[in-house]
Amino acid sequence: MKIGIIDLIKFKTMEKDVLQNYVSKYANRIKSFLLSIFKFFIITGISFVILGPVISIFSNSFFSSTDVYNPSVFLIPLDPTIDTYRLAFMRLDYWNTLFNSFIYIALITLLQILITSMAGYGFARFEFPFKKLLFGCVVVTIVLPAYTIMIPLYQHFRNWDVLYIFQIFTGSRLNLLQSTKPMYLMTLFGSGLRSGLYIYIFRQFFRGLPKEIEEAALIDGANTWYTYFRIMLVNAIPSVLTVTVFSMVWQYNDMFYSRLFSIPSSHNITFRLSTIQATIAFVDQVKDPLVSQLYVYAGVILVLLPILIMYLFLQRYFMEGLERSGIVG
Amino acid sequence: MKIKKLTLRQKKAISGLLFIAPWLVGFLVYYVSSIFLSIKFSLSKIDIAGSGGYSAAYIGLRNFKYALFEHADFNQIFVDSLIDILIDVPFIIFFSLFIAMLLNTRFKGRSLVRLIFFIPILLGSGAIAEALDLATQNIQGGASAMFSDFTPPSGVNVDYILGVFLDLGLPLGLVDYIVDLVSRIYEIVRASSVQIIIFIAALQSISPELYEVSKIEGATAYETFWKITFPMVTPLILTNVVYTIIDKYVTSEVVNTAYDTAFTTYNYGLSSAMSVLSTIVMCLILTVVCVLISKKTFYYN
């Protein structure tokens, strides 16, 4: 701080203030410095805990079969190879399966967002009879362990029909198993993978939005559906993105329903991954588990990469771009 | 014929029902019948026929009695799982809120760190975890081997630190609680990754004007947290508590026991009784927790 000659007269009275200013400035600087060190340690520590397994999977995926049996090799392979990747690539039928999986997942996610956000909005903003009871049912669908309903579901889709229409016209019911149809149907009717949770997230979010938005829309002459699609859903973009990310990741990584409905492995790259070790053991005659696990690691990296890239891409909107949108914009 | 005009309230009720209609249809078709079937299973003795069908004979509450009073360890597993849930939930909530707030501030390499915190969702469960499990099981013959293999070894002498804390006069229970949590840090980080993302979304939906105002009015960071951040994220604290309890329950020993009873010993009746029983208890716990937290929850309106 510069002090002029005229100010010197006032110096005695100012002295105390200036000193205090300096002290608080330095105290603030030290405080923020200590805080950032603290932050750095916590974040690095936890990142290490998370990354530990990933690093060892990644480095193991480059091991050749001699490295596995060499006790002096740790993390850095002596004889690195990409043969593991080549074989994993082939046995996963990588590009085809990935393409199919992504189309399947994207469609399911779109349906999830549409249906669950509608239900969430309905529960958040409207009064109708038995609302609390029905919402209790949503919670029950989240809590109920999925395997308790797996046998009825299996039978339902094994002999699928709507009001006996197919039975009357074709003489037999449809078998929807071994296709992706059961998953589409269940998602369309709000019973897909973790749909209950998404309804819950949307309901909580819509309850947090101010009611004035809809009142304003109503006065301006917008009907309920217009208000929902053009105003509320746009304001709910943080939740929409959260649900998008969760839905894509969980659907991508789903095992339970894929197995129950025997969804073809050409539409499900992670399901293929879970059988890659057996495939390689039988087709390529790699029977040694220590060696064949290397192919699994390479496969894991191949399967993880696209979803991580997708997340990085979404994160730009999901995390950064939203700060300005706020609640009401 | 004269059509009676609907009141505004009735109109709103109808559009509300239309909004939830798809879900309601799905619930009735896929869940209600299945739930009834589960309850019927739990009240009967199931015999699997050779052709793949089954026959059910009504035996009343015998399955429930067997699960509660005669089964070797269902009781103990059930109580243990409940206690585990109650211990972990508060810590996971605070931990994830804390991390979400750290990740929500600006620093270099933030998007990388957020990417890292996202990985446990992928590795934690599902097909990828299963593939890894299988690979290590084939070698070492145990799923638990995976943990020892992939979690970084700690070179810290825990007993020494424990001794220091005890010498300081901290109560043994508290020290045990903390040591237990720290030694399971990987598990806890994995269990809170979804909650962290939900909290970050919540933190970002707080309008920045609120912070500006409080800064101008001269509020400290501490006051800002308790008067603005915390109240504004309470709706999602409720969501996260519910999610954490359910997630812990779905991956707990009780569900595993019931699954094993159904698919390794083929006792569908007993398994259904176990899952009906535990689902009812979980619903009760969730209701109590929701009622308690909703009282403190702040909604913007």
Measure the CA–CA gap between A228 and A238, rounded to whole angstroms: 16
* pLDDT greater than 80 at residue B280: yes
Q: Is the CB of residue B285 less than 8 Å away from at least one CB of chain A?
A: no
Of A204, A308, A326, the CB nearest to B239: A204
Contact (Cβ atoms closer than 8 angstroms) between residue B274 and residue B72: no
Measure the CA–CA gap between A12 and A218, rounded to whole angstroms: 64
Measure the CA–CA gap between A221 and A231, rounded to whole angstroms: 13
Average of per-residue pLDDT values in chain A: 81
**What pLDDT does residue A13 have?**
58
Question: Taking the mean position of all CA atoms in its chain, how far away is CA B155?
Answer: 32
* Cα–Cα distances in angstroms (integers) from residue A149 to residues B4, B36, B41, in the given order: 43, 10, 11
CB-CB neighbors (< 8 A) of B132 in chain A? 57, 296, 300
Query: Of all residues in chain B, what percent carry a pLDDT higher than 90?
Result: 3
What's at A216, amino acid-wise?
Answer: A
Q: Do B128 and A300 touch (CB under 8 A)?
A: yes
* pLDDT greater than 50 at residue A214: yes
What's A160's DSSP letter? B
Task: Report which of B28, B247, B263, B137 is spatially closest to residue A260, judged by C-alpha positions.
Answer: B263
| C-alpha torsion sign, points A125, A130, A136, A141 | negative
Return the exposure string of B268-300: e unless at least 16 CB atoms fall within 10 Å of the residue's CB, then b. Answer: bbbbbbbbbbbbeebeebbeebbeeeeeebeee
Q: Which helix (H) or strand (E) holds B47?
A: strand B44-48
Query: Residue A32: what are its φ and ψ, rounded to 5°?
Result: -70, -30
Q: Which helix (H) or strand (E) holds B46?
A: strand B44-48
Q: Is the CB of residue A157 less than 8 Å away from at least one CB of chain B?
A: no
Q: Is the CB of residue B115 less than 8 Å away from at least one CB of chain A?
A: yes
A 10 A CB-CB count for A185 gives 19
Q: Do B131 and A36 touch (CB under 8 A)?
A: no
Average pLDDT estimate for A184-209: 86
- pLDDT band with cut points at 50, 70 and 90 for residue B138: low
Of A274, A320, A325, the CB nearest to B130: A274
Q: Is A209 helix (H, G, I), strand (E, B) or coil?
A: coil
Task: Note the pLDDT tens digit of each residue in A262-288.
Answer: 888 888 888 888 888 888 888 888 777
Q: Do B201 and A129 touch (CB under 8 A)?
A: no
Measure the CA–CA gap between B123 and A233, rounded to whole angstroms: 31
**What pLDDT does residue B3 have?**
61
* pLDDT greater than 80 at residue A194: yes
Task: Note the pLDDT tens digit of each residue in A147-159.
Answer: 778 777 887 888 7
Residue B20 to chain A, least CA–CA distance (Å)? 4
What's at B144, amino acid-wise?
Answer: S
CB-CB neighbors (< 8 A) of B38 in chain A? 148-149, 152
- pLDDT band with cut points at 50, 70 and 90 for residue B51: low
Contact map slice: A 251-310 vs B, CB within 8 A: 253-255, 258, 268, 270-271, 273-274, 276-277, 289-290, 292-293, 296-297, 299-300, 303-304, 307-308
Query: Of all residues in chain B, what percent carry a pLDDT higher than 70?
Result: 87
**What pLDDT does residue A8 have?**
55
Nearest-Å Rg of the Cα atoms of chain B is 25
Contact (Cβ atoms closer than 8 angstroms) between residue A235 and residue A209: yes
A 10 A CB-CB count for B89 gives 20
C-alpha distance across the termini of chain B, in Å: 42
Residue B51 burial (C-beta neighbours within 10 Å; 0-12, 13-18, 19+)? exposed
A230-234, B98-102, B255-259: least confident range:
B255-259
The model's pTM: 0.79
Q: Is the CB of residue B264 less than 8 Å away from at least one CB of chain A?
A: no
- pLDDT band with cut points at 50, 70 and 90 for residue A321: very low
CB-CB neighbors (< 8 A) of A277 in chain B? 131, 134-135, 138
Task: Note the pLDDT tens digit of each residue in B11-31.
Answer: 888 888 899 999 999 998 888
Average pLDDT estimate for A89-111: 91
- Best mutation target, A112, A128, A296, to test chain B (most B CBs within 10 A): A128
ipTM of the prediction: 0.78
CB-CB neighbors (< 8 A) of A137 in chain B? 27, 31
**What pLDDT does residue A327 have?**
37
**What pLDDT does residue B148 have?**
47
Of B16, B131, B283, the CB nearest to A140: B283
* pLDDT greater than 80 at residue B75: yes
What's A219's DSSP letter? H
Average pLDDT estimate for B75-99: 88
